[in-house]
Amino acid sequence: MAKTRVVVVDDSALVRSLLSEIINRQPDMECVGAAADPLVAREMIRNLDPDVITLDVEMPRMDGIDFLSKLMRLRPMPVVMVSTLTERGADVTMRALELGAVDFVAKPKIGVANGMRQLSEDITDKIRVAAKAQVRRASTPLPSVTATNTALPSRPALPTPIGRLSTEKIVFIGASTGGTEATKEVLMNLPPDAPAVVITQHMPAGFTTSYSKRLDGLCRIRVKEATDGERVLPGHAYIAPGGLHLSVERSGANYIARVRDGDPVNRHKPSVEVLFLSAARVVGPNAVGIMLTGMGGDGARAMREMRDAGSFNVCQDEASCVVFGMPREAINHGAANEVLPLQQIAPRVIEHLRSTAGVSLNRV
């Protein structure tokens, strides 16, 4: 079997050496080149034709975002970003995912050598996923991110209000690889009177704050990181904080968010399984489940439990997924009522909610 060929692009000689070592220890991949800046990397890509690139966010001569923007327009290929655990690094990483990067690795700020080695399984898993991901050519040049320019795209046309919506309804979204952009597509097309949306996106601590703030500036509903014990309200979306599990509980007449530490579930924290199990248990037929792009099977069984409890479930189709793993597993478990292209999910959910508006199916 042919090995996955990887080019490492990072201005740190230590990180280049560590990544090369981690990659070359894997029987199914090899580091075929390591470049200190994007201009050198450009020639390596031409000459070596790698399958995947790992790309540092901030480098001299040309930063990683400018390079990624040009690469995705001229020669689209799978890219895994290597980002620092800082607010600036998180903001730029979100921009990289918008430009078409498949995923990212959070580079430790201190203890880099030990930290990178501890992340070796995560790094190589992301490279394997990236090698199989569907990568799309960027259609137009996009501005780079600076400390004062976050280059937010414009909102789509205002969706028609749902009207007369029961406050019992909640939309649950699960996503992983490629999910930051897929979730954005869904949320940006929900009207201000949409029901509460609760989201588990596989993402490490330190990045969900930037992600939620970015979405809050784009969407007509409010978007925030979930905090433990807060009410889950219509017109709001709540994102599981990186490194913590999110679920929904009942408190009298209200739904509340539960944010908890704990062991990983299906190797993930936050886990879609945890969120979707709470949807089946607490919300039942008032729930709408959405499974978006991602690797693996996290949440598939719980989504079937949601359907058995009466929820309406939609899975993203293969053609529009970056990675079809999570939706495919949910479909195979019989969890999906419908399978749709990404762009059709929000309109279909609105249609479903409108058809059931004012109908309360409280199971308490």
**Contact at 8 Å (CB) between 6 and 30?**
yes
196 has a pLDDT exceeding 70: yes
**Residue 8 — pLDDT band, cuts 50, 70, 90?**
very high
Q: What percent of the chain has pLDDT over 90?
A: 74
Residues marked as catalytic? 176, 202, 298
**Contact at 8 Å (CB) between 38 and 64?**
yes
129 has a pLDDT exceeding 60: yes
Going along the chain from its start, the domains and CATH numbers come out as 4-132 (3.40.50.2300), 170-355 (3.40.50.180)
Mean pLDDT of 342-347: 97
Q: Lowest-confidence range among 28-42, 88-102, 264-278, 308-322?
A: 88-102
Element (H, E) at 96: helix 87-99
Mean pLDDT of 135-157: 51
Stated pTM of the model: 0.90
> What pLDDT, on the 0 to 100 scale, is given for residue 146?
40
Mean pLDDT of 164-189: 92
284 has a pLDDT exceeding 50: yes
DSSP-derived secondary structure for 127-187: HHHHHHS-----SS--PPPBTTB--PPPPPPPPPP--S--TT-EEEEEE-TTHHHHHHHHH
